Structure 1
């Protein structure tokens, strides 16, 4: 065992003379423990929210989406490129555009997506999101009074509530694409029959998304080639960025290839920034708590002044004296970090298992706080806690090492 570590352990095991010194040690360990526990719990809760948001987004989006103005040659090239990617397990064509939906006196802007339900459900989990109605009802039906077949449309649950529309109601969609008539240019309009409502758990989709069959949607939006692109599902979601980059290289810049993380870059960047800010703020709490360890070392240095003088007189170098007190501070801080990690893991387990904190589901789309403990977060919390504890011990360690041995023995 190294000499500085041996002496440090002896100092920690020795009964302390001053009650105040003992109190500062307890306060230092407790402060570091609480700071580490708060940091670990906060990061785990934020991980849980991010994982929940990602799950909901992936439930409504494909892992990789390719956008292009289609024609037979481009579609052939696209399908060949997708076929060359072994990690792509399913694809689905789509038509996408913006429109205005009106029902009665209410109207709002929407994102209209045309798709083939059988293929669509192989690239996302929309089939599980339907809360009312039937996807089969998207097929055009002739109204009871006769006339042209009216295609079905599935609305996001919040969108349907805002419009006041329900299954069987007829809504009118207005496209930004204009039609040329003898009376001049007029916007394209088409009737759709509400076939169902869906709840993805992600408000941006539930309040502004609508789904219909591919052909009537492409015709209504006047989509070139009848397609806006293709979506793909991968065998490994974590590979979405790499596969998107590979497809972009194969296809060239006539095509826009986006992974689900790129399509939601702003959201994930905001979550990442928020997590970083919380880490810094809570790390400062650990730093403040570490100053109690520093004050404890100053008091210990005064208490052990005679011992330090004797050690120096026996040949101990200033570097060894410094390392003694660095070891003392590190061991105290390390014990606090250990207790903090243990406390944080217990808190995360309690939050996940028991509904201590209940959230209003109509606002957060969650009834309980999600928790996800990541190994790399635990690692960085431990590293941060230990680093701050050691940082706080540097000044008292260097100050103590400068003591003159004769004065220390005489006045200690």
Structure 2
């Protein structure tokens, strides 16, 4: 029988009348401190993970995880062509971490209406394109298929471009392409998307790949680049490095050396900014644990003082200091556990309400999102709870040494 655990349970649960022995207001404040601290940490972690996930998905949705282009490209939106052969496709798909590949052709142009104009990047896609991102963010119309002949020049534009140029679903517009000679194409709007990522929304117009290919006088297998999607974003750097060395030895039929870049290399500022958010989470977690820990330390000291008489009796009966300290450490674990239960209930409830009803709104022009995002990752929540429990119990070890300062002769008469 674990005597220390038995005594701790009796102190925590109370007597047969179910009167709580641990009922001091200071103890309740300590439990509330643990609950509030854990709830704040859960909400903070869920928000940061959700924010990083949403922003990352938007960037990847436009430019994929990895891009393969010609090595001698400049920094414009128009790339030198590479040949996308079946041999190259099989070589890429043989990598176990790659789930999808797709060719694209990008071409800069200017949309001109009767009253306005807007510089855009026309992105041509083929039958192999993964529409999941745009289907998620489409607010009007529908996506097209590359072999659909019902609309000769379909285009999916953003709500930002549509509002600026006063266009709506079903309207047509003319785009001019600066080349020798200057060419123009007329497109029909078949869909309107909105991602709230202003840098991309004001730029990209999606259409069939054969339209920019004909403008460039390219062959059927020629593309601006190849977009690669991986299974696990956490392995992106590893996959990009492997492909970089594999493609460095590859030459297409045009004699191009291929250049591999991950989305982190293409948009370093965005991903460096997202990495800085991790520091904010750590600051919040450390502050909350410290505050919760000190409130719990105060509570434990009060419990020890309230139980001075009991400590003296146990010592007089031959109990060692280590054994008595274990009693109060067990009791601390019960109180911390109670606080953590309430913390999880409050934190997860707040996250669920925000995730379901989007109560707290954001300015999309600043945060790229219309509401505070939430992502309740089970693994992170488990680690957060374990970390809180371990650190809190570790902080209880110091105050428990107060037991050694209590002498039986004086403490048995203590009231």
TM range (shorter): 0.7 to 0.9
The equivalent of 1:378 in structure 2 is 381
Query: Alpha carbons of 1:405 and 1:221: their partners in 2 closer, same or farther (altered >3 Å)?
Result: farther
Pairs within 5 Å for 1:192-207: 192-196=185-189, 198-203=192-197, 204-207=199-202
Deviation at 1:340, TM superposition (A): 1.1
> TM-score scaled by structure 1?
0.74
Deviation at 1:67, TM superposition (A): 1.8
- Per-residue CA deviation, residues 63-94 of structure 1 (Å, 9 max, x unaligned), is 44322257778857734522533565653322
- For residue 119 of structure 1, the aligned residue among 114, 128, 135 is 128
Q: Count residues in correspondence.
A: 390
> TM-score scaled by structure 2?
0.74
Deviates more, 1:371-380 or 1:49-58: 49-58
* RMSD value, Cα: 4.4
Which secondary structure state, in structure 1, belongs to the residue aligned with residue 102 of structure 2?
strand
- For residue 231 of structure 1, the aligned residue among 218, 227, 240 is 227
Which segments of 5 or more consecutive residues in structure 2 lack a partner in the other structure? Answer: 72-79, 250-256
The equivalent of 1:267 in structure 2 is 270
Deviates more, 1:334-343 or 1:258-267: 258-267
Q: Distance in 2 between matches of 1:240 and 1:95?
A: 23
Query: Alpha carbons of 1:340 and 1:280: their partners in 2 closer, same or farther (altered >3 Å)?
Result: same
Which secondary structure state, in structure 2, belongs to the residue aligned with residue 387 of structure 1?
helix
Query: Alpha carbons of 1:252 and 1:403: their partners in 2 closer, same or farther (altered >3 Å)?
Result: farther
Is the Cα–Cα contact under 8 Å of residues 61 and 124 in structure 1 kept in the other structure? no
The equivalent of 1:4 in structure 2 is 4
Which secondary structure state, in structure 2, belongs to the residue aligned with residue 315 of structure 1?
coil
Deviation at 1:327, TM superposition (A): 2.4
Deviation at 1:35, TM superposition (A): 2.0
The equivalent of 2:106 in structure 1 is 96
Which secondary structure state, in structure 2, belongs to the residue aligned with residue 169 of structure 1?
strand
The equivalent of 1:357 in structure 2 is 359
Is the Cα–Cα contact under 8 Å of residues 156 and 192 in structure 2 kept in the other structure? yes
Which secondary structure state, in structure 2, belongs to the residue aligned with residue 155 of structure 1?
strand
Which segments of 5 or more consecutive residues in structure 1 lack a partner in the other structure? Answer: 141-149, 180-187
Q: Distance in 1 between matches of 2:188 and 2:238?
A: 37
- Per-residue CA deviation, residues 95-138 of structure 1 (Å, 9 max, x unaligned), is 3355555556755543332333x233x47544674835885799
- Per-residue CA deviation, residues 387-407 of structure 1 (Å, 9 max, x unaligned), is 343244233212332334444
Is the Cα–Cα contact under 8 Å of residues 124 and 207 in structure 2 kept in the other structure? yes
Query: Alpha carbons of 1:358 and 1:377: their partners in 2 closer, same or farther (altered >3 Å)?
Result: same
Pairs within 5 Å for 1:288-327: 288-327=291-330
Q: Does 1:29 align with 2:31?
A: yes
The equivalent of 1:332 in structure 2 is 335
Deviation at 1:237, TM superposition (A): 6.8
- Per-residue CA deviation, residues 152-200 of structure 1 (Å, 9 max, x unaligned), is 754333123324456322233446xxx6xxxxxxxx7432323225315
Is the Cα–Cα contact under 8 Å of residues 58 and 124 in structure 1 kept in the other structure? no
Deviation at 1:270, TM superposition (A): 3.2
Greater helix proportion? 1
Is the Cα–Cα contact under 8 Å of residues 139 and 213 in structure 1 kept in the other structure? no
Is the Cα–Cα contact under 8 Å of residues 62 and 123 in structure 1 kept in the other structure? no
Is the Cα–Cα contact under 8 Å of residues 32 and 290 in structure 1 kept in the other structure? yes
Query: Alpha carbons of 1:411 and 1:37: their partners in 2 closer, same or farther (altered >3 Å)?
Result: closer
- For residue 171 of structure 1, the aligned residue among 172, 175, 194 is 175
Q: Does 1:402 align with 2:405?
A: yes
Q: Distance in 2 between matches of 1:230 and 1:137?
A: 17
Deviation at 1:214, TM superposition (A): 3.7
The equivalent of 1:131 in structure 2 is 140
